[in-house]
Every structure is written in structure tokens, then in C-alpha cells.
Chains A and B, each alone.
Chain A
Amino acid sequence: MNENERIHKIIEELRSLPEPDYNKYFDMNKQNNIHENLMKVSRKYEAKQRSGSFMKRASTAVLGLAAFMLFAIVLMTINSQRSDEQIGYTFEDFFHEKMAEMPEQENNYAYTLIHTEMNAVQDGDAIAVYKEDRNEDGEVFFIAYFEKQGKRWVWKQSRGSKIDSPVNWTSMNQAPFIYFGLIRDHSIVEVYAGDTQAKIITVADGNRFWYAISPKQDVEVMLVKDDGSQEILDQFDPESLEN
């Protein structure tokens, strides 16, 4: 017998191996029992899948909603900032707008905005120093205090001082107590309102303007000269000008 014949014989022997006696060892009852178990497992699995699918959809929806809300909040914040600043609408724009809105009898003078300081006392406030050329009074320097209420700037108070006033300083009558004045003496290097050192800015013709924000009213104002000497200054109150 050659190899092919032997292989063929082996295959025949293998194919003639009997099948199990299903009626005795794997009858219909056993099959049905297994089937019943399988259906329980299958239904449970399907329910779990549905639940998982629902949870997946629900979590997707929640995540989507959260993402949308986050996007909306960001958008609203941006819009809020935009409406607040009105796309490039600055504090200085507001200032000039308010100056233009002044009643004609109060604002028939030319003015120059000299200096601004944002967040001077607290976040969302501003100080502006400006000069008006009043015909009869000559040049008058003003300091104004602004606060932001919501999205809008509000002009809270302002006060001015003539450049040729005989005395040196004045202050706001209500908080924040801003003390200010002009410096015509070049030897003055520092000014203090109480314990607060003033900011000094150059305004015109070598003159300087100082202001200091103090938590207290009626503090002493002291200047320090370049030789180290100190001097208490008198207040310029009766002649101060309000805007």
C-alpha cells in the first residue's frame, strides 16, 4: 500500500469514528436547559447594552450640554467685555464723551487730558487729570475720579486748582480723599498726604501736578525738597474749583 492509499485509509477510519450518543448524553432536555440559560444571559446582556447605550447617549448629551453652556458662558463673557469696552471703547473715549456732553455753560473751555490712572483706589476705577483753559481764570487743572458700575463708567467727582492759586493744594470732600496740587518750585522732590506719597506728573511749562489718595480726610500735606528739608503746606480750599 502506497502512502496515498495509507493516508486515504486513515481518513476513512477517522470519518468512521462514531458521533456521540446524543439521545443518552446530550438529549433535548439538556439542550433546552442550556438554551434557557443562554436566553437569560442574552437578555441580561442586551438590557445591559441598552442601559450602557442609554447612559452613553445621556452622558454624551450632558457633556454636549456642558460644552454648549461653557461655550455660551465664554461667548457671553467676551460679549460682556465687548459691550463693556464697546469694542475699543476706552476709558479715555468715555472721558471725552462726557466732556462733550457737559452743559454748554460749563464746558465752553478748551480742555486737555493730561494723565489717567486705571484701578487707582480699587479695581474698576480711574483717575483723570485734565486742564481747562478758562478765559477768565486762566488754566485750571482738574482731577476727576471715576468708578465702573456694571458695564458703565460713572463720573463720581472732580475738583480743580488754578495754576496761579496763592496756596498749594486741595482735596476731595468725599472718599476717596484725593489730595492734589500744583508744584511750581523745582526744588520740591516729594509730596506726602499724611503717610501717602503723592504721584507727581509733569503738566506744562515745567510745572508739575501731584496727587495722592489717602484713606483719611483732613491730613497734613508735606513736601520734601532736594536739600532734604520738609515743609507743611497750607490747603487751597476756598479757591478750589469744582467741575
Chain B
Amino acid sequence: MISSKISQWFYQYNKDIYHFLLYYVGSGDIEDLVQEVFIRAIKGFDSFQAKSSPKTWLFSIARHVGLDELRRRKRARIKSIVPFVDDEPIGEATPEKVLQLNENNRILYQVIQSLKSNYRDVIILRAIKELSVLETAAVLNWNENKVRITYHRALKALEKHKEDLPNE
């Protein structure tokens, strides 16, 4: 039962999860994180409510995996005793490479990464992954009104950051 469902969901949503995580955490072994998302889904399968959507459930897990990864990287940076070492290992697939970003998109990507976390959450889910308000609310465990308001504010903040960026 679990195996067949996870198998089905994996092939149905693995690219969506990969896409989401790439924007959420940036560089790194995104495929490892995708695997981690589905491992957590296996372990938490009993808690999955059949009436809810597996897509929003998996995105919700992916967001937590992404947050854990960002925290882990932050801790690793603090603990690092070697100064001036680049965070990204040489040859690692960067979002610029994976997404083949042009200059305008690279700036947009950097602005997204600079947003505060709830703005980034809602921008990635609503604008990039094109989830509905209802789906976004389910992933973030917010009400729909909060999704609409936060999304609007996030877009305005994104625009302002983007305008400010060339002047920095």
C-alpha cells in the first residue's frame, strides 16, 4: 500500500519537488533532498489524510526539508573554522547552471533569495509553482486571506528590491 502510493506519487511529483527545492535552497544536491522528502512521506504516511491532496502534502514536506537544509547550512557556516571558503563546492550545480538563467532572471532569482522567508515561500509556491491560493494555504498551513495578502506584499517587496538592486 505505502510502496505503491509512494511510487505513484514519486513519478507524478518528483520534478515539481525538485523545481521547488531548487528555488527554495538554491545550490546543493537537490536530488538528495527530493529523496529525503519522499522518505519522510513514507515515514509519515499514516498521518496523511486521504481527503487532502498528496501534492500539497508533499510540498509541505518539501518546504520543511528545505528549511532544515537551510538551517543545516547556516550552522555549518557558523562552525566553519576555515575563513573565506566559498560555500558552494567547485563544480556543484548552481541554480544559474541548472536553470540556465540569463542576466535578468539571475537578478530576479537573487532578489527572491533575499526576501524574508514567508515572502519567499509564497512567491515560490504561488508565482513559480503556480499553486492556487487554496493549495498554497494548505502547504503553508495559512488561511486563504493570509496567502492573498502576503503574496501581494511579497510581490511589492520583490519589485522594490529588484529596482534597488542595480543601485547597490
Contact = CB atoms under 8 A, between A and B. Distances in A.
A42 interface: yes
B18 A26 contact: yes
Contacts of B100: 18, 21
Chain B contact residues, majority secondary structure: helix
Interface string A11-39: 10111111111101110001100110111
A21 B104 CA distance: 18
Contacts of B109: 17
A31 B6 contact: no
A26 B31 contact: yes
Contacts of A42: 2-3, 6-7, 42
Interface in A1-19: 3, 6-7, 10-11, 13-19
Interface string B1-25: 1110011001100110011001000
Interface in B4-53: 6-7, 10-11, 14-15, 18-19, 22, 30-31, 34-35, 38-39, 42-43
Interface string B88-104: 00000100001111001
Interface size class of B (residues with CB under 8 A): 35 or more
Contacts of B155: 7, 10-11
A32 to B, nearest CB: 10
B158 interface: yes
Interface in A87-131: none
B108 A46 contact: no
A35 B11 contact: yes
A58 interface: no
A4 to B, nearest CB: 10
Interface of B: 1-3, 6-7, 10-11, 14-15, 18-19, 22, 30-31, 34-35, 38-39, 42-43, 93, 98-101, 104-105, 108-109, 112, 123, 127-128, 130, 152, 155-156, 158-159, 162
13 contacts: A6-B159, A7-B155, A7-B159, A11-B127, A13-B108, A17-B101, A18-B99, A19-B19, A24-B98, A25-B93, A35-B11, A41-B39, A42-B42
